[in-house]
Chain A
Amino acid sequence: MSITVEHVSKHYGPIIALRDVGFTVAPGEVRALFGGNGSGKSTLAKIVSGAVRPDSGRVSVDGAPIPAGSPRAAHAAGITTTFQELSLLPDLTVAENLALTHVPRVAGLFRADKVIRAEARAVLGRLGLAHLENLPVQALQVGEKYLVELAKALRLEPRYLILDELTSALHEHEAQLVKRVLAEHCKAGGGAILVSHRLGEIQSLCDTITVLRNGEVVADTDVASVSSDDLIRWVGGGSRTGDRGGARARTTATKTARRVELSNVALEADAGEVSLAVGKGEILGLGGLPDQGQAAILACLFGLREVRAPARLLLDGAPVQLRSPTDAVRAGIAYVSGDRDEVGFAIRSLQENMLALLLNRRDPIRLDEAQLEQALSELSTVHGGLTNPLNSLSGGNQQKVLLARCFLLRPKLLLAADPTKGIDVAARAEVHQAIRRLAAEQGTAVVLTSSDDRELAALCDRVLVLEKRMIIRELHAGAGLDEQALVESYLQAPAADRHQVAGAGSRP
């Protein structure tokens, strides 16, 4: 009664999330899916759970393939899942949420409310949470929500449990509960798939491990027979280049002036304060696992999030109040994102896209076609004419157009959220070159987030690694900044070792 995953591939547009991936899980086995950012481990788990339909490949239980793309079918085959994003409806009670997967009936059409609540109490009781049964989910703490998500998966008495980053949001004692439940489950003959980036947990809970990197399986082995170093090396690509091999023609002495300073900002209620500074012409990266506060920092710098006293935002030494992106653009801050839905006007022409940032200034900048063409060719953009719509270009070229228009603004600060998401290697290199040129020639400060650690390592002068809305590490180019180091930061960072970095603009 094993699960067999064979030849699974999945792409989203030009990005290949998974390429010909496979593994098996036997009864009683706990398999880890381990990897860094963008490795595809979560996508893979979702495919096995039925929430995502693969492009090719199949998932079978005991040799019988499960219809793809149907969580219902997965449930019928004995597979249940806890989702990283939680599949709980906030307006319903815990008991009701638990019942959704298979609603107990009375007289055919009606809910057996008593049974619903009794079942809920029973399964919650295994986690010591029976008292939560009648509360609406939105009233629960974060940790409790994840445990309820686990209870929901357990209720159907599955043969296989998929836990997607379940313990990331749990306190230690809650994680112990999960450990106990998992042990009971395996003892009764069940199997499990654990998606996690926490090495310690994997080593204590799992029997086997599949290591993924960039959508491919790089290792499939027993947990007991490999060391932490091996695992981290597989995830990070292994290279330990203390300095970059690529050419970076710039001097380091120029960045003494601070362009942007953000100080004493609490990125979340009850979180600690964060401060950072970026120098003129400096490229600062924000790394770490996704959703650790990187977007919040960008939001503060772009007027999407209020920076209120005692926090301060300084631009070229002067305090600024950004109440909206309009203020930010007027102050000379440009924003570009790899999510083209966020910043691009897909159905409008290249010309309109490029002029969009310049339209709303008090003194609108007027540019003629030749100047626009010039800006585009500086990025080697391939296009069929300025009047064509943006979405007639390939993804990489669309990004270049959106970046080119930022350059036309001659911004003091460029905010780039995952700017090369989903574009091919050649275009990516051209974009990197353009960003470096912007920083070097115009003295633009750049703050960059990326889900690709290699990119951060290759492009940035400095990277701040974030975890839970705090800066936990700072790495400098030429002094230990590489993909391996970044991966280590967020895979191994012990919970106790947290400190603020009062970001200086530069260090020798």
Chain B
Amino acid sequence: MSSIVSRAPGPTPTRLVRFRALVRSPLSLPVAIIVVLFAIGAAVRPDFVSMGSIWGLLSVASLLAVVSVGQTIVIMSGNQGIDLSVGSVITLAALVTSNFSAGLDQNLPLALLAVVLVCALIGAINFVGVYLVGIYPLIMTLGMAFVLAGGAFAFAQDYGPTSPSPLLLAVGGAKLGPVPWLVLVAAVVFVAMTALLQWSRYGRQLYLVGANPRAARFAGIPVWRIYLLSYVLCSVLAGLTGVLVFGFAGSVNLSIGVPYTLMSIAAAVIGGTALTGGRGNIAGPFLGAIVFTVLANLLIVMGFGTADRQMMSGIVLVAILALTAREKAGRI
């Protein structure tokens, strides 16, 4: 940028300039993909784009969206931050809810409290492993996923399966007018998280810590606090997802959370969250969640099985990484 030319604030930008800005926005990519996918879906099966079908898609996407927001926050905190334990946390949270509520509405507050406390503890342990001990986030959370899967397995032996309480079932399946409760819950999460990122001190410090932890330290920001809050928030959001998944699915099994791990990362990345940290927002993972839900649905409609869908998720993630996560040449 030339230091001779100064750009003083001028007249209102023209429509063309605004359009260009919109196109360049990182959110335009997921939106474009969603449109394309819907077009393909409609071609394959016309009722793919019916309102009923779309609300159904949004319900499922809401589940992924909540956990993807948590994943986004951890990725944004930088330092190669990532949380591979979210899938296991979802499973565990569903199990805990199932056990503590035992199908009764009046037990729900207790169950939710238990979930929040357990998830906060898990997030804190992840933080300790990553920040205090110094294990790479990817390996620490992978280990945590392993531990939690084992823990879930052990936990599940001690009690019989229960169904969700009526309230939880309603949240998971019923609607308020035309809008499913799940979508409303996700919307509340959206608003709350956006407010947190834009207006709270934590939010502002999160962007700085993620962009440059050293500079943040030199600016006097207590970096450790940001990391701790980020990992805790991510686990708690994953826990919330687990509760919702339980209500949605109506039952719990040990692999219920498995697909969410990779999907939450993919949703965050395609929503514009930089894997290096310091960049991202809440709308991104929401749109990303919609992208992958629509994609998964489309693949099912087109007749692809679990195996192919998994392979494709892997290939898509590799493609996204090849475009966004290449490290600098470094030398010379």
Beta-carbon contacts of A386-422 to B below 8 Å, as 1s and 0s? 0000001110110000000000000000000000000
Which residues of B are found within 8 Å of A302, using beta-carbon distances? 218
Cross-interface CB contact of A364 among B201, B212, B219, B274, cutoff 8 Å: B201
Q: Does A352 contact B (CB under 8 A)?
A: yes
B218 touches A345 (CB 8 A): no
- Nearest Cβ on chain B to A488's Cβ, whole angstroms: 34
Cross-interface CB contact of A51 among B5, B9, B332, cutoff 8 Å: B332
Beta-carbon contacts of B202-244 to A below 8 Å, as 1s and 0s? 0011011001101111111110000000000000000000000
Known: A342-B214, A359-B205. A396 touches B3 (CB 8 A): yes
Bound together, the chains give a CA A7 to CA B52 distance in angstroms of 71
Q: Does A69 contact B (CB under 8 A)?
A: yes
Known: A385-B7, A394-B1. A348 touches B218 (CB 8 A): no
B212 touches A344 (CB 8 A): yes
A348 touches B208 (CB 8 A): yes
- Nearest Cβ on chain A to B206's Cβ, whole angstroms: 11
A356 touches B208 (CB 8 A): yes
Nearest A residue (CB) for B205? A359
B221 touches A360 (CB 8 A): yes
Cross-interface CB contact of A356 among B216, B274, B279, cutoff 8 Å: B216
Bound together, the chains give a CA A303 to CA B307 distance in angstroms of 55
Q: Does B164 contact A (CB under 8 A)?
A: no
Which residues of B are found within 8 Å of A393, using beta-carbon distances? 1
A348 touches B3 (CB 8 A): no
B3 touches A360 (CB 8 A): no
CB within 8 Å of B: which A309-362 residues: 324-326, 328-330, 335, 337, 341-348, 352, 355-357, 359-361
Beta-carbon contacts of B1-14 to A below 8 Å, as 1s and 0s? 11101110100000
- Nearest Cβ on chain A to B272's Cβ, whole angstroms: 12
- Nearest Cβ on chain B to A410's Cβ, whole angstroms: 15
Q: Does A199 contact B (CB under 8 A)?
A: no
B3 touches A382 (CB 8 A): yes
Nearest A residue (CB) for B223? A326
B220 touches A357 (CB 8 A): yes
A325 touches B217 (CB 8 A): yes
- Nearest Cβ on chain A to B202's Cβ, whole angstroms: 10
Interface hub of A335, A343, A355 (most chain B Cβ within 10 A)? A343
Known: A326-B222, A360-B219, A360-B221. A345 touches B212 (CB 8 A): yes
Which residues of B are found within 8 Å of A352, using beta-carbon distances? 204, 207-208
- Nearest Cβ on chain B to A15's Cβ, whole angstroms: 16
Which residues of B are found within 8 Å of A394, using beta-carbon distances? 1-3
Known: A352-B204, A382-B6, A392-B1. A326 touches B220 (CB 8 A): yes
Q: Does B87 contact A (CB under 8 A)?
A: no
Bound together, the chains give a CA A164 to CA B3 distance in angstroms of 38
B278 touches A347 (CB 8 A): yes
- Nearest Cβ on chain A to B143's Cβ, whole angstroms: 26
Interface hub of B7, B216, B218 (most chain A Cβ within 10 A)? B218
Cross-interface CB contact of A346 among B6, B211, B217, B221, cutoff 8 Å: B211
Which residues of B are found within 8 Å of A328, using beta-carbon distances? 220
Q: How large is the interface on B (under 10, 10 to 19, 20 to 34, 35 or more residues)?
A: 20 to 34
Which residues of A are found within 8 Å of B204, using beta-carbon distances? 352, 355, 359
- Nearest Cβ on chain B to A362's Cβ, whole angstroms: 11
Bound together, the chains give a CA A355 to CA B216 distance in angstroms of 12
Bound together, the chains give a CA A424 to CA B3 distance in angstroms of 10
Bound together, the chains give a CA A382 to CA B5 distance in angstroms of 8
Bound together, the chains give a CA A427 to CA B211 distance in angstroms of 26
Bound together, the chains give a CA A431 to CA B322 distance in angstroms of 41
A356 touches B6 (CB 8 A): no
Bound together, the chains give a CA A360 to CA B221 distance in angstroms of 6
Bound together, the chains give a CA A300 to CA B217 distance in angstroms of 15
- Nearest Cβ on chain B to A14's Cβ, whole angstroms: 11
Which residues of B are found within 8 Å of A337, using beta-carbon distances? 218
Interface hub of A51, A344, A359 (most chain B Cβ within 10 A)? A359
Q: Does A1 contact B (CB under 8 A)?
A: no
Q: Does A53 contact B (CB under 8 A)?
A: yes
- Nearest Cβ on chain A to B215's Cβ, whole angstroms: 5
Cross-interface CB contact of A52 among B5, B215, B219, B332, cutoff 8 Å: B332
Bound together, the chains give a CA A337 to CA B3 distance in angstroms of 21
Q: Does A384 contact B (CB under 8 A)?
A: yes
Bound together, the chains give a CA A109 to CA B2 distance in angstroms of 56
Which residues of A are found within 8 Å of B207, using beta-carbon distances? 345, 348, 352
Which residues of A are found within 8 Å of B212, using beta-carbon distances? 341, 344-346
Cross-interface CB contact of B219 among A53, A329, A382, A427, cutoff 8 Å: A329
Nearest B residue (CB) for A397? B3
Known: A328-B220, A360-B220, A360-B222. A53 touches B211 (CB 8 A): no
- Nearest Cβ on chain B to A356's Cβ, whole angstroms: 4
Bound together, the chains give a CA A359 to CA B221 distance in angstroms of 8
Bound together, the chains give a CA A98 to CA B129 distance in angstroms of 38
Which residues of A are found within 8 Å of B205, using beta-carbon distances? 359-360
Which residues of A are found within 8 Å of B278, using beta-carbon distances? 345, 347-348
Nearest A residue (CB) for B274? A347
A343 touches B220 (CB 8 A): no
- Nearest Cβ on chain B to A302's Cβ, whole angstroms: 8
Nearest A residue (CB) for B1? A394
Which residues of A are found within 8 Å of B9, using beta-carbon distances? 385
A342 touches B215 (CB 8 A): yes
B208 touches A345 (CB 8 A): yes
Cross-interface CB contact of B220 among A330, A344, A383, A427, cutoff 8 Å: A330
Which residues of B are found within 8 Å of A427, using beta-carbon distances? 3
B7 touches A384 (CB 8 A): yes
Cross-interface CB contact of B221 among A347, A356, A382, A384, cutoff 8 Å: A356
Which residues of A are found within 8 Å of B222, using beta-carbon distances? 326, 360
Bound together, the chains give a CA A326 to CA B205 distance in angstroms of 13
Bound together, the chains give a CA A356 to CA B274 distance in angstroms of 21
8 closest Cβ pairs, A-B complex: A329-B220, A53-B332, A345-B211, A384-B7, A356-B219, A326-B220, A360-B220, A343-B215
Residues of B at the A interface (CB closer than 8 Å) are 1-3, 5-7, 9, 201, 204-205, 207-208, 211-212, 214-222, 274, 278-279, 332
Q: List 19 A-B contacts (CB under 8 A).
A: A302-B218, A325-B219, A341-B214, A342-B218, A343-B215, A343-B218, A344-B215, A345-B207, A345-B215, A346-B211, A347-B274, A355-B204, A356-B221, A359-B208, A360-B221, A364-B201, A382-B5, A385-B9, A397-B3
